[in-house]
Structure 1
Amino acid sequence: MTAAVESNIYPYAEKTENLPVCLRGIGGTEWQGYYQENGEGCWFKILWCISGMGCINYDEQSVEISKGDLIFMPKAYPHEYYPYQPKWTVRWIVFDGYDIERTLGELGLDKPVLLKSCDTTELNKLFNKIMLTLRTDRINGIFRCSGLCYDIILELHSLILNAVKSGSNVKNDILLPVINHIEDNFNRDLPISELVGLSGVSHQYLGRIFRQAMGSSIEKYIKKRRILEAKHLLLETDEPINEISDKCGFREPGYFSTVFKRSEGISPIEYRRMSKKQLLHNRSGRK
């Protein structure tokens, strides 16, 4: 269970400019109010919600923040947040350091990150440890806590990786039926709207995650799958070009030839002749 915190601590010590990561502030409240960053701040921030609900505005978007939600903000990044309910409990830390931008860049933390429904158990443990250390060690506490601040950054990175993995599983659940449907039906007219209906998501979202996973648009993927089948039929059968065109989902042989040549650099007829010639050569060489 997370203990109540109603204080902010901004530790100070000389020679902190030599720290690669340096804690500049830490705090929390059960009654978080309105806060605005106008783009002139010099510290990075991690904030997470313990209970209640609030809202954060940045990049022209408004996002609800509730229990388990976490946000990372780069320094000097305009944003504001405020409660939706009178009792909105949050925790936060702010930090900098002479090597912090390189460190965050290597971790992919060069822009705002919003994570929903995280397991913040480790963050809360580190938070409590920092608060206790700062209260009990006024001399060296900031140096020890700057190391703990680095641990918080690493925990944030771990939470991001977990979220990406979870998101990938969700995307796979969306994409697998779509890809299977393409495999079973590429030999006929296959409108994108049919695949969108199968996926249960919007056209734009399906197109985006499909490109991320497969490296091409849905339309190009279907064409490549049809060309692959056409190459197989051209090599393994003597079927006429117009029949192969129809079997591979191209209703117009002329269009099929155009698409095939654009993909392979030669026409279907040339591909058949060259491939069979090469096949015969390979077979005679093995005798």
Structure 2
Amino acid sequence: MSSQYYTIRQEDTSSLPQSQAKLLSISWAQYSEEWNSSLHTHNHAELFFVVGGQGSFQLQDRQFSVSSRDLVVINAGVPHAELSQSGSPMEYIVLGVDSLEVLASACGYVQSHFYTGWDEIASCLRLMLQEVRGSQPGHQYICQHLLEVILLRLLRRDDLVLTAPYADRRSSRECDLVRRYIDDHFKENLTLDQLAALAHINKYYLVHTFRKEYGISPISYQISRRIQESRMLLTSTDFNLSQIAQILGFSSLSYFSQSFRRLEGMSPMEYRKRNRPAAK
């Protein structure tokens, strides 16, 4: 006989965003001739999980393509519309979540692709739909706990930083100032000394509090913002890799390629080939 025993180490989860996030709605949609989506907003965040087909999202000042296994997080108050590609009808599951936001650019959204871990997320989503459709006693509690499982899974990703909205969290003003500065200047050659001076705190304290607040260091957050922007440049422009690396402030092409592979699980060129719309 063989057996395995694991002790579960207890941690304080009160500061994690999933402990404040509340599931407001869950819906499933698939393209049909009656599909009619126009720009609209919500007073809560939405998490779109694309489970099939292809399409795009329209924001006020930009449009970007999505496909199966993509996640799009739209913050509260951001105008958006979902559009399907007629030859490959888009299907998605969307969660409406209160007291949650994704740290993003001024556009207020983040797009991420699942190269690993998709099946576990999809299983949770299917179970949520099953529970809400059955409306058995306690289904709302099961759905809420499944949301927390999904958010904990998302928190492990390097390309997503989820938090509670500023008004609802015990946030460090210094960390919020630094994060917003990085959002506006992520293409520049920022240093910890520069960021610490901006916030008038010690750089070691900045790293500690920023990581505690957002689950990532300031410099790693800057790199993730650059990689987020690079995905758009790879799919919507003809810039070569060296040009993209230079535009985004990477010191070399190799550093850009290494950072991209670490966060995306593939090379920039492979990402471009997979996600670039086919020429007509």
The TM-score normalised by the length of structure 1 is 0.46
Q: Could you say which structure has the larger radius of gyration?
A: 1
The TM-score normalised by the length of structure 2 is 0.47
